[in-house]
């Protein structure tokens, strides 16, 4: 750079313009092409009164840049958008099936509502919902066709008093099967889901429970919806086990807190897990219920690692400040779920497109 | 007599004092005259001093005037500061909170803006600026459902092609393709004829109606992109023969067309030709993960 005052041609030009916003003048440099062909142009910064030369090499880059800007205008969408478009519309025969797996996590599972809200809003493909524990509750409500605002309203109005009725009688403490009775839970589901069968759901749905007698993972995909959801969300020691046929069922999270394998075995090509069981919270558990839920959370985290690895995409809302008992933090948990899902949209679309392309590739 | 003179003088004195008081120009008036003379800094100084005067009763108006002057000077930080002070002086003033919310939005402070403007919504305020600002906040935050809600409210009151354009984008993303087309038509002024036709055609394709897309695209002048989009529409139909024709016609420079051409070759079991294209495209990182499906 050199001071413009040293260059009479530029100084003359600058006088009248000094003080205005920054402008650059470009002028062909005398003999530029013959000076080794390096720079035929000279720039003047009208604010700082300085000159600088612009080499032909940079000029070429500038032209390349212009070309890219021009290209970007011509092709505003990239290949991912077009492939997603075709996967959603043109490739009906090959379209990959997408399963959404909603994990356990007690009150933290409210974040699933945010995940489903974002999912529905963005019109992402969904062919199956698999839920365990709170995931079964949220998934069941959604699959039964309840609109998100309605589910949000249910979540906002929720409190423990609505769900539980404490039945501890000190003299019979050791004979109790749970701390709270199930009456209210049943009433709650009756009010919102009614006497529905799995067959009548808008979106195919599967819930997972654990059999206390055999230790088996029990998969519900047919029959009445309420017993299935109730069994899947019966946190052991807190809610009463659910007697179903010859079985005694408790929370699915005991054996499988994020059943991605169920989605795969039911023909899903892409499995997206919404995982709200991660992180055990900073607060020290100070009640029986808090201790029990913490114990289940810890074992759930350990059990879930392999299952999460099997998912194509894992949505993990940041719930470190929400404990499994924080049922009142609905808005925060829902927002976290929404944001976490939004952050994974491109990944979900990509997984969906790739799975669809794989089906095209493998067509005989 | 003496006492009468004293009385009259006292009355005059009081009246003149009162007169002087009443005729004192307000700081806003003084600032205005400075502003008219182009002395914005002096006007600001007058208003700043007045705002610190404990006797001044009209502080909110002074802060609002200061905010306007800072807006003239493009000083958003000072503008926010004085609007915050105005809010502290009278938290019930809807106009103050609306201005503050919009200011936060312009400064990119979306959470603060949302909080301020939602407070007005909770008061039942109905104002297009409020709706547009909330729409902008949610649009920026990616909360498209809410952005759609507020932009629609705004659009029902005021025609703004920029907002219609955003409503088009939002509704395309949300999968409300018919609504998107309607907003696209309202935002026509934002697009060149060619861009408009392309956007409309892609919308038809997303809506699963390639025949309409083809009609729209055929009006366009001959370019690589037109041929690519026509190929895509025929591919969606599905008419592989015509799709292949247009993808080829689009030329080698149009990489998405090359990718789809390779897919057609693959589906026609001409795998060597397809793999050659996938291999060539796989060096581009945008295409690499999709090419890898066939190259693995």
Render A285-331 in DSSP notation, one character per residue. P-SHHHHHHHHHHHHHHHHHHHHHHT-SEEE----TT--TT-TT-HH
What integer pLDDT is reported at residue A22 of this predicted model? 38
Q: What is the dihedral of CA B79, B72, B33, B45, to 10 degrees?
A: 40
Cross-chain Cβ contact A75/B293 below 8 Å: no
**Strands, sheet with A2-3, edge to edge from the N-terminal-most edge strand:** A2-3, A50-54, A41-45, A24-28
What integer pLDDT is reported at residue A320 of this predicted model? 81
Whole-number Å distance between alpha carbons of A22 and A44: 10
Band (B205; pLDDT cuts 50, 70, 90): very high
Q: Which residue of B has its CA nearest to A125?
A: B175
Whole-number Å distance between alpha carbons of B197 and B194: 5
Between residues B236 and A331, the one the model is more confident about: B236
- CATH node for B1-85: 1.25.40.10
Band (A164; pLDDT cuts 50, 70, 90): low
Mean pLDDT in residue range A98-120: 93
Cross-chain Cβ contact B143/A85 below 8 Å: no
Residues of B in contact with A353 (CB under 8 A): 290
Please check whether the domain covering B220-296 is classified as CATH 1.25.40.10.
yes
Cross-chain Cβ contact B174/A354 below 8 Å: no
DSSP category for residue A95? P
What integer pLDDT is reported at residue A182 of this predicted model? 65
Q: What is the pLDDT of residues B239-272, one digit of tens each?
A: 999 999 999 999 999 999 999 999 999 999 999 9
Q: What is the pLDDT of residues A165-191, one digit of tens each?
A: 555 555 555 555 555 666 777 777 788
Whole-number Å distance between alpha carbons of B288 and B283: 6
Are the C-beta atoms of residues B228 and B256 closer than 8 Å to each other? yes
Between residues A54 and A202, the one the model is more confident about: A202
Mean pLDDT in residue range A342-351: 96
Cross-chain Cβ contact B256/A86 below 8 Å: no
DSSP category for residue A4? G
Residues of B in contact with A117 (CB under 8 A): 145
Within this chain, domains B91-190 and B220-296 share the same CATH topology: yes
Whole-number Å distance between alpha carbons of B242 and B227: 11
- CATH node for B91-190: 1.25.40.10
Q: Is B144 an 8 Å CB contact of chain A?
A: yes
Closest CA–CA distance from residue B22 to any residue of chain A (Å): 44
Q: Which residue of B has its CA nearest to A347?
A: B289
Whole-number Å distance between alpha carbons of A235 and A252: 9
What integer pLDDT is reported at residue A18 of this predicted model? 35
Q: What is the pLDDT of residues A4-46, one digit of tens each?
A: 344 433 333 333 333 333 334 444 444 443 333 444 444 444 4
Closest CA–CA distance from residue A303 to any residue of chain B (Å): 31
In chain B, domain spans: 1-85, 91-190, 220-296
Whole-number Å distance between alpha carbons of B190 and B125: 30
Q: What is the dihedral of CA B241, B243, B246, B247, to 10 degrees?
A: -110
Q: Is B30 an 8 Å CB contact of chain A?
A: no
In chain A, what percentage of residues exceed pLDDT 70?
Answer: 69
Report the residue from B205, B232, B290 with minimal CB separation from A353: B290
Q: Is B44 an 8 Å CB contact of chain A?
A: no
Q: Is B236 an 8 Å CB contact of chain A?
A: yes
Cross-chain Cβ contact A123/B267 below 8 Å: no
Whole-number Å distance between alpha carbons of A340 and A322: 15
- Interface test mutation site (partner B, options A72, A74, A79, A93, max chain B beta carbons within 10 A): A79
């Amino acid at each position: 750079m050199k001071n413009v005052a040293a260059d009479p041609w530029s100084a003359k030009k600058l006088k009248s313009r000094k003080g205005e916003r920054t402008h650059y003048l470009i002028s062909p440099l005398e003999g530029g092409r013959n000076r080794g062909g390096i720079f035929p142009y000279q720039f003047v910064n009208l604010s700082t009164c300085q000159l600088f030369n612009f080499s032909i090499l940079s000029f070429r880059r500038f032209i390349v840049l212009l070309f890219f800007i021009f290209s970007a205008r011509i092709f505003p969408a990239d290949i991912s958008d077009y492939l997603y478009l075709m996967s959603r519309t043109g490739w009906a025969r090959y379209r990959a099936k997408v399963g959404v797996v909603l994990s356990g996590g007690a009150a933290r599972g409210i974040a699933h509502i945010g995940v489903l809200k974002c999912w529905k809003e963005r019109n992402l493909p969904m062919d199956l919902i698999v839920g365990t524990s709170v995931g079964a509750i949220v998934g069941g409500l959604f699959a039964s066709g309840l609109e998100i605002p309605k589910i949000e309203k249910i979540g906002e109005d929720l409190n423990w008093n609505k769900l539980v009725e404490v039945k501890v009688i000190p003299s019979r403490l050791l004979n109790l099967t749970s701390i709270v009775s199930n009456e209210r839970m049943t009433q709650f589901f009756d009010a919102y889901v009614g006497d529905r069968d799995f067959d009548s759901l808008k979106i195919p749905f599967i819930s997972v429970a654990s059999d206390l007698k055999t230790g088996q993972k029990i998969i519900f995909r047919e029959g009445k919806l309420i017993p299935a959801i109730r069994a899947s969300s019966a946190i052991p020691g807190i809610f009463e086990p659910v007697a179903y046929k010859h079985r005694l069922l408790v929370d699915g999270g005991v054996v499988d807190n994020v059943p991605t394998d169920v989605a795969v075995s039911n023909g899903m090509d892409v499995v997206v897990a919404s995982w709200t069981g991660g992180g055990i919270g900073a607060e020290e558990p100070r009640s029986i219920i808090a201790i029990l839920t913490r114990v289940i959370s810890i074992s759930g985290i350990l059990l879930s690692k392999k299952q999460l690895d099997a998912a194509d995409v894992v949505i993990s809302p940041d719930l470190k400040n929400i404990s499994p008992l924080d049922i009142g933090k609905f808005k925060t948990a829902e927002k976290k779920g929404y944001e976490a899902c939004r952050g994974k949209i491109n990944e979900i679309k990509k997984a969906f497109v790739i799975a669809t392309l794989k089906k095209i590739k493998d067509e005989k | 007599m003496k006492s009468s003179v004293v009385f009259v003088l006292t009355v005059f004195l009081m009246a003149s004092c009162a007169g002087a008081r009443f005729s004192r120009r307000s700081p806003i008036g003084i600032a205005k005259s400075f502003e008219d003379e182009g002395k914005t800094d002096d006007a600001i100084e007058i208003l700043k001093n007045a705002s610190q005067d404990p006797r001044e009763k009209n502080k909110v108006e002074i802060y609002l005037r200061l905010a306007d002057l800072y807006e003239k000077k493009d000083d958003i930080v000072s503008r926010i500061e004085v609007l915050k002070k105005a809010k502290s002086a009278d938290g019930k003033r809807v106009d103050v909170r609306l201005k503050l919310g919009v200011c936060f939005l312009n400064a990119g402070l979306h959470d603060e803006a949302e909080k301020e403007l939602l407070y007005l919504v909770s008061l039942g305020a109905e104002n297009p600026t409020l709706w547009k600002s909330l729409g902008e906040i949610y649009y920026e935050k990616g909360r498209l459902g809410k952005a759609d809600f507020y932009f629609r409210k705004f659009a029902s009151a005021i025609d703004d092609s920029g907002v219609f354009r955003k409503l088009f984008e939002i509704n395309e993303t949300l999968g409300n393709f018919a609504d998107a087309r309607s907003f696209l038509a309202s935002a026509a002024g934002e697009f060149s004829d060619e861009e408009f036709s392309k956007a409309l055609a892609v919308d038809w394709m997303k809506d699963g109606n390639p025949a309409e897309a083809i009609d729209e695209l055929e009006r366009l002048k001959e370019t690589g992109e037109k041929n690519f989009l026509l190929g895509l529409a025929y591919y969606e139909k599905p008419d592989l023969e015509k799709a292949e024709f247009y993808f080829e016609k689009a030329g080698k420079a149009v990489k998405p067309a090359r990718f789809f051409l390779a897919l057609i070759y693959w589906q026609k079991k001409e795998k060597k030709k397809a793999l050659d294209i996938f291999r060539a495209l796989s060096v581009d990182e945008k295409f690499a993960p999709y090419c890898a499906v066939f190259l693995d």
